[in-house]
Structure 1
């Protein structure tokens, strides 16, 4: 059974598009300056519940080695987020995937399942509220290639948005940080891509 390469590519693009749209918005609330908020928020969204993002960590993807079985089931995702807002299907190679989407507290959560087993997941339009502690020096000196995702989160904390997908070609995870970075404007971000569990590519914008 073979999943086409386009599956992870299409899924992983969601986080980039959504984060870009979120981070360029400016707060128009005249009372915003009274609070020292570091969360990147949209014009109309209130402070987001961190549990929306942290629950996403409980969604596990299957592996090709296990015939794409053992990923989080639909009922297990419902236990985290309730009933999905939408359900569609999409072709992937010779099979069809079920795609479910939730919209909670301004964030969008999406999972793709093969025979009730998650093989792709994404969360977008979310930003934590936390202090700006990550500098360009940390980015330059503490993020060498081949770090695992867990090792990176010990340095940077949990990413604000992320997406992950598996296929017969392997596993890819894309993560973006925006809310704990030191920089001049709200377009600052770090993007990291992990292939088969190891950091393989990184980029940043606006760090100082």
Structure 2
């Protein structure tokens, strides 16, 4: 079975992460969207429930080694978020994926399943409420390549938004941090990409 095309199809939503958080100013938000930059959650908006984001960690993706079986099922995701808001299908190579979306308190959760096994997941439009503790020095000195995602979260905390997908070519996870970064610029962010479980690419904006 050809899963070569699953990864590019499943990760189309990754680019949308750059528009995933909210801003502290409506005019800033409008400008930031045009520039495709991440902004911070508005203090004037209702506080987001962190459990909406943390439940996302319970959605697991299958692996190619296990023939893409063993990922979180639709029934298990429903236990976390209830009935999906929408359902569509899309081709991926010579197979068809079920694409489900949930809208929960302004947060968007999506999952792509093959034969009721999650092979891609994404969450957007969320920002934690937390102190600005991550500095450019931490970014420069404590995030070398080959760290695992778990090791990174021990340094930075959980990312505000993220997306993950698997294919025959391997696993790719993209994560964005915006709410705990030291800096004055509302567009500050750290973006990290993990390939096959190891940090492989990183970038930042606006850190001090």
Structure 1 residues 145 and 8 mapped into 2: Cα distance closer, same or farther (>3 Å)? farther
Structure 1 residues 42 and 96 mapped into 2: Cα distance closer, same or farther (>3 Å)? farther
Distance, in Å, in 2 between the alignment partners of 1:60 and 1:13 is 21
* Cα deviations by residue, 1:8-44 (Å, 9 ceiling, x for unpaired): 441322322334xx34x5169xxxxxxxxxx922587
Counterpart among 11, 14, 39 of residue 13 in structure 2:
11
- Please tell me whether the aligned partners of residues 45 and 106 of structure 1 are also in contact (alpha carbons under 8 angstroms): no
Distance, in Å, in 2 between the alignment partners of 1:48 and 1:178 is 15
- Please tell me whether the aligned partners of residues 97 and 113 of structure 1 are also in contact (alpha carbons under 8 angstroms): yes
> What are the residue-to-residue correspondences of 1:45-194 with 2, within 5 Å?
45-194=45-194
- Please tell me whether the aligned partners of residues 109 and 122 of structure 2 are also in contact (alpha carbons under 8 angstroms): yes
TM-score, structure 1 as length reference: 0.89
- Please tell me whether the aligned partners of residues 40 and 187 of structure 2 are also in contact (alpha carbons under 8 angstroms): no
Partner SS state of residue 72, structure 1: coil
- Please tell me whether the aligned partners of residues 11 and 164 of structure 2 are also in contact (alpha carbons under 8 angstroms): no
* Unaligned runs of at least 5 residues, structure 1: 29-38
- Please tell me whether the aligned partners of residues 165 and 172 of structure 2 are also in contact (alpha carbons under 8 angstroms): yes
Distance, in Å, in 1 between the alignment partners of 2:185 and 2:196 is 33
Distance, in Å, in 2 between the alignment partners of 1:197 and 1:63 is 12
The runs of 4+ residues in structure 1 deviating greater than 6 Å are none
Partner SS state of residue 41, structure 2: coil
Structure 1 residues 192 and 121 mapped into 2: Cα distance closer, same or farther (>3 Å)? same
Distance, in Å, in 1 between the alignment partners of 2:13 and 2:187 is 22
* Unaligned runs of at least 5 residues, structure 2: 28-38
- Counterpart residue number, 2:36: none
- Counterpart residue number, 1:34: none
Partner SS state of residue 20, structure 2: helix
Partner SS state of residue 47, structure 1: coil
Distance, in Å, in 1 between the alignment partners of 2:10 and 2:156 is 24
CA RMSD of aligned residues (A): 1.7
